[in-house]
Amino acid sequence: MTSRIRSLAAAAAVGLLLTATAGCSTFSSSGRYKYQHAEGGQPSVSGTPTDGAKASAKPVLPYDIRPLLKPEKKYFGVSLPGFPASMQPLQTYASLVGKKPDMVETYAAWGDQFESQQVQDTWDYGAMSFIAWEPMKKSLADIAAGKDDAYIHQFAQSVAALNLPVAISFAHEMNGFWYPWGTKKATPQQFVSAWKHVHDVFAEEGATQVIWVWSPNVIGPMKSVRLKPFWPGDAYVDWIGVIGYYGLDGPHTYKTLYGPTMDEVRGFTKKPFIIAETASEGRTRKPADIDDLFQGTAKRSDVVGFIWFDYNKETDWRVDSSSAAAAEFRRQAAGKAYGVDVRKP
Partner 1 sequence: MSDWRPPRSGAQEQRGRSQPSWAVNGPDDRPAPEPEPGYQAPQYAYEEAPPAYGYAETFTPPSPSYTDDPYGESAPGAGPSAGEEYPRAPYYDQAVSGAYGTHEQAAPVDTYALDEPDAGYAVYEAESVPPGYVLPDVPESAWSFDARRSVRLGRILLACLLLVQAVLSLRLRGTAFEDEALYIASGHYELANVLHGTPVPVDFGAYFSGYPKFYPVLAASVDSHFGLTGVRVVSLFFMLGTTGLLYAMTRRMFNVRAALGAAALFCGLQSTLYLGNFATYDAPALFLLALSAWLVVRTGRSNMAFVLLAAPPAALACGVKYAAALYMPTLVVLAVLTAYRHRGWRSLLRGVVLGAAIAALLGLGLKLAGSLGGISGTTTNRAHGTDSALRMLQDSANWGGLLFLAALGGSIAYGLRARMGEMPWIGNATPGPLRRVSLGVLLTGTALLAPAYQIHLGTEISLYKHVGFGLLFAAPMAGLGLARLVGPHFRNPQLGIILFVATLTFGMVQSHEEYSFPNSKPMVAYLRTVVNHKGIYLAEEQEVPAYYLRDVTGWNQWQTTFLMDYQAKDGKHYSGPAAFSAAVRDAHFDVIELHGGVTPDADQAVTDALKGNPHYRLTAVIPYTTSSGTSAFRIWVKQ
Catalytic machinery residues: 173, 277
Minimum separation from the CB atom of position 31 to partner 1 (A): 8
Buried b (16+ CB within 10 A) or exposed e, 197-215: bbbebbeebebbbbbbbbb
Contact call for residue 344 and partner 1 (CB under 8 A)? no
Nearer to partner 1, 159 or 307 (CB): 159
Collapsed DSSP state (helix, strand, coil) of residue 217: strand
Asked if 244 and 218 touch (Cβ cutoff 8 Å), the reply is: yes
Bridge partner residues of 66 (DSSP) = none
Helix (H) or strand (E) holding 264: helix 254-265
Give the per-residue contact string, 18-37, with partner 1 (x = CB under 8 A; - = no): xx-xxx--xx------xx-x
Cα–Cα distance between 126 and 239 in angstroms, integer? 21
Nearer to partner 1, 11 or 136 (CB): 11
Nearer to partner 1, 223 or 270 (CB): 270
Asked if 129 and 92 touch (Cβ cutoff 8 Å), the reply is: no
- Nearest CA to 201 among 261, 249, 153? 153
Give the per-residue contact string, 280-319, with partner 1 (x = CB under 8 A; - = no): ----------------------------------------
Q: Which of 29, 30, 52, 314 binds partner 1 (CB under 8 A)?
A: 52
Tell me the site size for partner 1, rule CB under 8 A: 51
Q: Which of 29, 51, 72, 85 binds partner 1 (CB under 8 A)?
A: 51
- Nearest CA to 210 among 150, 181, 169, 172? 169
Helix (H) or strand (E) holding 292: helix 286-299
Enumerate residues 189-248 that contact partner 1 by CB under 8 A: 203, 205-208, 233-236
Collapsed DSSP state (helix, strand, coil) of residue 304: strand
Nearer to partner 1, 156 or 243 (CB): 156
Contact positions vs partner 1 (CB under 8 A): 1-4, 7-8, 11, 14-15, 18-19, 21-23, 26-27, 34-35, 37-39, 41-45, 47-54, 59-62, 64-66, 160, 203, 205-208, 233-236
